[in-house]
């Protein structure tokens, strides 16, 4: 499965369409039936993740020589959209596992690192995480305080990270962390990235967060107290960690946009179904323009979001600059998901406030889409810069 220089929202190439249909069926028959249960219990859906691994979803953009499917990043995005329609927790587990866990190793790792880590990450039997955000440095990633000091042939890591997805599961294999490894000639922080295996002494995934949404997604603060890893665990060139992380986030924003598009579309689908079935004053509520027009606007938002992430993905696959388009896609899609979740809840009335309805879960889940992997304000800043302001 390879990328096209032009991707249409109305007619996908056959291999992409087949993938989307396969994941849609999996989402409907495997993910959806247990989504509410895991959400209510705040439990990680190991059985669902195993099923995604068997389908090859974690290996979609990973070359076959490293145990992957040999596809591309757009294939991953299509899978995320379908999963996002029914369960954002499951979708973000896949997104973070691939985009933030595996892709940095594929993009910047040595051959030995790729052969050591990628086969298990591509299989879904192991998860990787990306330790970037810190308690005192959210959107300002250059404010990193975690340090990695070279002591002989080992890095000694000290510091804290927060809001790290996939970092504390029973199948978490590694966390790649950004850390200050020195000072540049210009006097600025030298930030590098280092692979830290999950069983490293001194590395602790603290108690999981109690979150508003994404309750079946694994998220922890992390502590590093003299955690020692081999010098060979440096990922990419020393001092290039910040630049490499920016590239990782640019790609990740397309994936998050795809997930958000799925959430927005899921709200449309549930609202259409409900508006046809629910009767008031002797007729289905969908016959009322107030409801019909609200759902029409929801559909328009979802379509616009899909068009935006398709455009960004097409540029990325063709090797052209895509930073601005990725930021636009993330901005448009995350706002579409949040707006559609609010409107879907309104369409459902009192039932929309009940957790047994998926639109209630989307209402809680969607807000983080406007925050994670770059806030709405960060996207606006990036877009403004790209247009010359």
pLDDT at 5 > cutoff 60: no
Q: How many Cβ atoms are within 10 Å of 33's Cβ, its own excluded? A: 11
Residue 203, CB half-sphere, CA atoms under 13 Å: how many? 26
Give the pLDDT confidence score for residue 245 in this predicted structure: 86
Q: pLDDT above 90 covers what percent of the chain? A: 90
Contact 173, 121 (CB under 8 A): yes
Contact 192, 238 (CB under 8 A): yes
What would the pLDDT profile of 247-296 be if each residue is shown by its tens digit?
888 999 999 999 999 999 999 999 999 999 999 999 999 999 999 999 99
What would the pLDDT profile of 43-90 be if each residue is shown by its tens digit?
999 999 999 999 999 999 999 999 999 999 999 999 999 999 999 999
Place of tokens 């409107």: 343
Q: How many Cβ atoms are within 10 Å of 187's Cβ, its own excluded? A: 6
Q: Could you tell me which of 203, 196, 194 has the C-alpha nearest to residue 234? A: 194
Q: Could you tell me which of 82, 2, 42 has the C-alpha nearest to residue 265? A: 82
Please name the residues in contact with 314: beta carbons below 8 A apart, sequence gap of 6 or more.
3, 4, 5, 6, 7, 74
Query: Of the given ranges (16-20, 51-55, 98-102, 184-188), which has the lowest mean pLDDT?
Result: 184-188
Contact 234, 194 (CB under 8 A): yes
Whole-angstrom distance, CA of residue 178 vs CA of residue 167: 14
Give the pLDDT confidence score for residue 102 in this predicted structure: 97
Burial-class residue 6 by CB neighbours within 10 Å (0-12, 13-18, 19+). exposed
DSSP 341-355: HHHHHHHHGGGGGST
Mean pLDDT of 215-229: 98
pLDDT at 196 > cutoff 50: yes
Token pair recorded at residue 56: 């090859």
Q: Could you tell me which of 103, 253, 120 has the C-alpha nearest to residue 193? A: 103
How are beta strands 203-205 and 219-230 bridged, if at all?
antiparallel
Token pair recorded at residue 352: 């929309």
Give the pLDDT confidence score for residue 367 in this predicted structure: 98
CA dihedral 226, 229, 235, 240 (to 10 degrees): 30
Domains and CATH numbers, the chain: 14-127 (1.10.540.10), 129-239 (2.40.110.10), 243-386 (1.20.140.10)
Q: Could you tell me which of 61, 164, 45 has the C-alpha nearest to residue 122? A: 61
What would the pLDDT profile of 109-144 be if each residue is shown by its tens digit?
999 999 999 999 999 999 999 999 999 876 676 789
Whole-angstrom distance, CA of residue 18 vs CA of residue 14: 6
Q: What are phi and psi of 150, to 5 degrees?
A: -80, 120
* pLDDT confidence bin for 7, thresholds 50/70/90: low
* pLDDT confidence bin for 184, thresholds 50/70/90: confident
- Whether 373 is a known active-site residue: answer yes
The widest CA-to-CA distance across the chain, in whole angstroms, is 79
Between the alpha carbon of residue 230 and those of residues 118, 146, 156, 157, 190, the distances in Å are: 18, 17, 9, 11, 19
Whole-angstrom distance, CA of residue 143 vs CA of residue 129: 20
Whole-angstrom distance, CA of residue 260 vs CA of residue 240: 30
| CA-based torsion, 133, 138, 143, 146: positive or negative | negative
Q: Could you tell me which of 146, 304, 296 has the C-alpha nearest to residue 226? A: 146
Specify the pTM: 0.94
- Between 245 and 317, whose confidence is greater? 317
C-alpha Rg value of the chain to the nearest Å: 21
Please name the residues in contact with 112: beta carbons below 8 A apart, sequence gap of 6 or more.
232
What would the pLDDT profile of 289-338 be if each residue is shown by its tens digit?
999 999 999 999 999 999 999 999 999 999 999 999 999 999 999 999 99
Look over the chain and give the mean of its residue pLDDT values, rounded to a whole number.
95
Give the pLDDT confidence score for residue 243 in this predicted structure: 87
Give the pLDDT confidence score for residue 1 in this predicted structure: 47
Token pair recorded at residue 324: 């601005």
Give the pLDDT confidence score for residue 4 in this predicted structure: 46
Residue from 54, 373, 377, 386 carrying the catalytic annotation: 373
Burial-class residue 19 by CB neighbours within 10 Å (0-12, 13-18, 19+). buried
């Amino acid at each position: 499965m390879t990328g096209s220089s032009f991707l249409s929202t109305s007619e996908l190439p056959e291999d992409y369409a087949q993938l989307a249909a396969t994941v849609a069926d999996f989402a409907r028959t495997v993910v959806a039936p247990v989504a509410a249960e895991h959400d209510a219990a705040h439990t990680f859906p190991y059985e669902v993740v195993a099923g995604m691994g068997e389908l090859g979803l974690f290996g979609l953009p990973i070359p076959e020589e490293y145990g992957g499917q040999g596809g591309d990043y757009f294939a991953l995005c299509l899978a995320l959209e379908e999963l996002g329609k029914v369960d954002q927790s499951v979708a973000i587990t896949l997104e973070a596992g691939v985009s933030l866990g595996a892709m940095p190793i594929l993009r910047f790792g040595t051959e030995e690192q790729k052969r050591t880590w990628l086969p298990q990450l591509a299989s879904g039997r192991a998860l990787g995480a990306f330790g970037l955000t810190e308690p005192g440095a959210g959107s300002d990633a250059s404010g990193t305080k975690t340090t990695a000091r070279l002591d002989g042939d080992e890095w000694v890591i000290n510091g804290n990270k927060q809001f790290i997805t996939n970092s504390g599961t029973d199948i978490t294999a590694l966390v790649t962390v950004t850390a200050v490894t020195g000072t540049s000639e210009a006097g600025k922080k030298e930030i590098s990235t280092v692979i830290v295996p999950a069983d490293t002494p001194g590395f602790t995934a603290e108690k999981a967060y109690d979150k508003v949404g994404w309750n079946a997604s694994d998220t922890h603060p992390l502590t590093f107290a003299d955690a020692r890893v081999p010098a060979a665990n440096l990922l990419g060139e020393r001092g290039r960690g910040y630049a490499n992380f920016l590239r990782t986030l640019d790609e990740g924003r397309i994936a998050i946009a795809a997930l958000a598009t799925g959430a927005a579309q899921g709200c449309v689908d549930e609202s259409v179904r409900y508006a046809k079935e629910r009767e008031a004053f002797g007729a289905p509520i969908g016959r009322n323009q107030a409801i019909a027009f609200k759902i029409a606007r929801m559909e328009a938002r979802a379509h616009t979001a899909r068009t935006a992430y398709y455009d960004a993905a097409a540029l990325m696959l063709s090797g052209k600059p895509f930073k601005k388009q990725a930021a636009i896609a993330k901005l448009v899609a995350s706002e579409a998901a949040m707006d559609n979740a609010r409107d879907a809840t309104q369409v459902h009335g009192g039932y929309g406030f009940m957790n047994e309805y998926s639109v209630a879960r989307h209402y809680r889940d969607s807000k983080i889409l406007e925050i994670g992997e770059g806030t709405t304000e960060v996207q606006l800043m990036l877009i403004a810069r790209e247009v010359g302001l």
